[in-house]
Amino acid sequence: MKKIGILNGEISSVVSKMGHKDLIAIGDCGLPIPDKTKRIDIALSKDIPSFIDTLKNVLLELQVEEVILATETEENNPKVFMEIKKQFKNVKFTFITHEELKVMLNECKAIIRTGEQTPYANIILKSGVIF
């Protein structure tokens, strides 16, 4: 049994296989996931697990060089936006429309679907390197 880090086998597997500039997304339970993109569905019930808890756990193991968010996030979900900003130091933030973000999901290695039920609680993380 794994002792530390991400215990979910699918998430751990995807993160361990990511290379520089690969993309992974974390989304609320309403985010449309393209058929061709790996879906890691961890939603149990309303807000369980939360978007922020899931993000924090992924960040325990993933080196991130860029955060991609919908421009609508800050205005429509300021609480989640502020929590996202707290998680990153010296990381580039790129803002695109929610529609552009949904198109970009096609480029992700996987999308983690949480139980989050607040608007625009979605993020794409671009993998960095640790050296």
Is residue 53 marked as binding?
Answer: no
Is residue 77 marked as binding?
Answer: no
Is residue 122 marked as binding?
Answer: yes
Q: What amino acid occupies position 14?
A: V
Three-state secondary structure readout of 58-72: HHCCCCEEEEEEECH
Is 76 labeled as catalytic in the residue annotation?
Answer: no
Residues 107 and 125: their CA atoms lie apart, in Å, by 11
Is residue 35 marked as binding?
Answer: no
Catalytic residue among 20, 56, 86, 92: 20
Is residue 98 marked as binding?
Answer: yes
Residues 6 or more apart whose Cβ sits within 8 Å of residue 122: 25, 26, 27, 28, 31, 51, 69, 70, 73, 98, 101
Residues 9 and 25: their CA atoms lie apart, in Å, by 16
Binding residues for substrate: 28, 98, 120-122
* Catalytic sites, residue numbers: 20
User: Binding site: what residues are annotated?
Assistant: 28, 98, 120-122
